[in-house]
Amino acid sequence: MTIGYGSHSKDCILEPLSLPESPGGTTTLEDSPSVPCIFCEEHFPVAEQDKLLKHMIIEHKTVIADVKLVADFRRYILYWRKRFTEQPITDFCSVIRINSTAPAEEQDNYFLLCDVLPEDRILREEIMCLKYIQNNLCYCSFFNFLLTTSIITDNKSVLLNHMAREHAFNIGLPDNIVNCSEFLHTLQKKLDNLQCLYCEKTFRDKNTLKDHMRKKQHRRINPKNREYDQFYVINYLELGKSWEEVQLEDDQELPDHQEEDWSDWKEYPVSAVCLFCELQEETVDKLYKHMKETHEFDLLKIKSELGNFYQQVKLVNFIRRQVHQGSCYGCHMRFKSKADLRTHMDEAKHTSLLPERKTWDQLQ
């Protein structure tokens, strides 16, 4: 048995993936509770995915590895159904040759779709995160974080990072928190009682409380409230000591002979990468200037025209993906190398020729 890999299997896709609910672009697939075959028009009930997998093996000689680890099987299938219409299957799948030592007429090829391919691995991770966020994050009807009753504490980092990043509400690093579900329900109860989490004053209605916490920057908890100590791991480090006492010991200056040597410390600044070339800048402002002057791509202007932050993210992700795949989004020509693509887009001025909204503005 001989195994070969598609031409894209060695490339690493660094940008987030777009996960459209209906990659094929048809209402039938989006509204249907069934799952279509990746290659043909056969449909199978969602609960009978084993029949679909069997069909794909028998009829299309394709195997999906570790399918039980896919968080949303239908979304996964719809994604690859669209991708396989764009490029040959050998670009994505490992080729398994059966009876490789037999005569040519008795040999046969099967295709394995698995997370050895970076795009498949990232897709599985994105689906898992998206599924978790949809099921366990916020309804955002009050203070932008009314929580559901079901919290998967193994994935608490997804929830806490979302709250900090999207709603400016930070209760600490996920690894420093224990009993996360109980902690969040405690906070929710206080909000339901119209109580500010920081100053702990009570207000007459939700809108007044919301405005107060926003204007006073009280989107944080009261560090003096001992009720919260049980939820932070630092309070379990030494028996009988609070987090303040432990922190005070850590902050005390060391004797001169115990001072640490930081002379070999090297700082690696966070860099922003150009959408079209390999240039990296330390600040996004410098990157905006570079893309405008070098590639005639005014991202600041585009962002102001789009307005919606979610739309901005989807457009940037679409452009990164097209460039990664060597495809010009202005004329749809494909190139063997990123250098050839970059030369073409700069000479033809296609960097400033934005794609139609329907090509990138899809459900995620």
Angle of helix 118-136 relative to helix 156-167, nearest 10 degrees, comes to: 80
Confidence label for 263 from pLDDT (cuts 50, 70 and 90): low
Q: What is the pLDDT of residue 243?
A: 58
Dump pLDDT digits (tens) for 56-104: 999 999 999 988 888 889 999 999 999 999 999 999 999 988 877 878 7
Q: What is the pLDDT of residue 92?
A: 92
Dump pLDDT digits (tens) for 169-212: 888 887 788 777 788 888 888 888 999 999 999 999 888 988 88
Mean pLDDT along residues 133-153: 41
Buried b / exposed e along 309-331 (16+ C-beta atoms within 10 A): eebbebbbbbbbbbbbbebbbbe
Query: Where on the phi/psi map is residue 146: left (φ > 0), alpha (ψ -120 to 50), or beta?
Result: beta
List the chain domain ranges. Answer: 2-121, 137-247, 272-360
Q: What is the pLDDT of residue 87?
A: 93
Q: What is the pTM of this model?
A: 0.37
**Contact indicator for 41, 59 with CB cutoff of 8 Å:** no
Dump pLDDT digits (tens) for 269-306: 556 788 888 888 878 888 888 888 888 888 888 888 88
Q: What is the pLDDT of residue 139?
A: 35
